[in-house]
Amino acid sequence: MFVGTHLSQADALLESFSVSVRNTGKPLLIGEVGSNPETTPGIRSIIAAPIIMVDNTVSGVLVAGHLNHAGFNQRNLSFLLTIASHLALVMQNANAMAEIEHQTVIQEHTRLAREIHDGIAQTLGFLKLQAAKMRDFSVKDDAENLHESFGLYYDTLSNAYDDVRESIDDLRIDPSDKTVGELLSASLNNFSDLSGAHVTFVGGQDAKMKFPSEINVQLIRIVQESLSNVRKHSKADCVWVDCRETRLGFCIEIRDNGQGYSPDEMIAGSQHGLRGMRERAELIGADIQVISHPGKGTTVHLRLPTIDSEGAETK
């Protein structure tokens, strides 16, 4: 052990080698540092391994000193390099999760602002105009137009209420520490209660899979947006949802028996929702396909690549 000034001298010596390895990015094995006890207090051999990230930058160095001049060998250095590579992987994953979490927050803020502007704000503006018309019809004692305008007012207000209720119910679902099946079941129950549509969920053993909460947020928001489009635009009374793990990755499929559409008939609101779904899928590296034909319903297919047993991404 090193004590007193020897400890600080040893730290300084190891730090100097660490800086050298960080600058060169090359591992280091020195079998005989020196014999001067003032400059090399007890340390006779040193190994150092750089922690190299995927972009080839050196984020840190693992360095160790030994009391014996032959204390380290090539096998020890190889072991230290293995540890350094594992540390780099852990750091890269942590950085990736932090970036996804950051982007998730930004996406949620953008989505909420967009929904308030394109949804609630425009609906309130329309209701304000309708209220003004209703007042004019009332003053003019125009009962027929007043009745028609009141019906439109009520329908618009009812739809707006459903939209707000749906958003609140969706946001209440906590995506942390839950299986995919638990998240899907909660969203499907909310959808069924609000829309009255019959929902069939097929998950089985694959529904017990868990992903990090940052991934869960995006997965469940994509499903929720898809179900929202079904409720608003499809006129479907049956929805089938299936989740399963395949050799291509983890897949979620949402299918309905609604009216469907052709590309040139896509409703503006639905197109906006699909854009948000694609943005969320891109954020977590997932693929999303939307297939629809007039009179034949719509199918949304989401695939999230998974990691195989050798650590490679499944394409």
- Write the pLDDT tens digit of every residue in 166-176: 777 666 767 77
Q: pLDDT value at position 41?
A: 55
Nearest to 279, CA basis, from 106, 137, 149, 124:
106
Question: Which residue did the predictor score with more confidence, 77 or 262?
Answer: 77
Same domain, 157 and 199: no
pTM: 0.55
Whether residue 105 is predicted with pLDDT greater than 90 in this model: the reply is no
Same domain, 210 and 234: yes
Same domain, 313 and 202: yes
Q: pLDDT value at position 302?
A: 95
Look at residue 52 and tell me if it is in a domain: yes
Q: Which residues pair with 245 in a beta bridge?
A: 250
- What is the mean predicted confidence (pLDDT) over 118-140? 84
Same domain, 34 and 61: yes
User: Which CATH number covers residue 20?
Assistant: 3.30.450.40
Considering 172, 196, 214, which residue would you say is the last residue of a domain?
A: 172
Same domain, 280 and 305: yes
Same domain, 166 and 189: no
Look at residue 80 and tell me if it is in a domain: no
pLDDT band at 118 (very low <50, low <70, confident <90, very high): low
Whether residue 240 is predicted with pLDDT greater than 90 in this model: the reply is yes
Please report which residue ranges of 116-261 form alpha helices under DSSP H.
Answer: 122-139, 143-171, 180-195, 213-229
HSE on the CB side for 287, CA within 13 Å?
10
Whether residue 100 is predicted with pLDDT greater than 90 in this model: the reply is no
Q: pLDDT value at position 1?
A: 36
What is the spatial distance between Cα 112 and Cα 102, in angstroms, rounded to a whole number? 16
Same domain, 272 and 181: yes
Nearest to 216, CA basis, from 168, 171, 190, 177:
177
Look at residue 61 and tell me if it is in a domain: yes
Look at residue 119 and tell me if it is in a domain: yes
Same domain, 38 and 67: yes
pLDDT band at 314 (very low <50, low <70, confident <90, very high): very low
Look at residue 86 and tell me if it is in a domain: no
Whether residue 34 is predicted with pLDDT greater than 90 in this model: the reply is no
Print the domain residue range for 21. Answer: 4-72
Q: Which two tokens stand for residue 27?
A: 């591992």
Look at residue 85 and tell me if it is in a domain: no
Same domain, 167 and 248: no
Question: Which residue did the predictor score with more confidence, 17 or 56?
Answer: 56
Sheet order of strands, 28-30 included? 28-30, 45-52, 58-66
Same domain, 261 and 186: yes
Per 3-state DSSP, what percentage of the chain is helix, strand, and coil (rounded to 5)?
55, 20, 25
Look at residue 95 and tell me if it is in a domain: no
Considering 125, 145, 172, which residue would you say is the last residue of a domain?
A: 172
Domain count, the chain: 3
Look at residue 40 and tell me if it is in a domain: yes
Same domain, 130 and 196: no
Same domain, 154 and 38: no
User: Which CATH number covers residue 235?
Assistant: 3.30.565.10
Considering 32, 53, 72, which residue would you say is the last residue of a domain?
A: 72
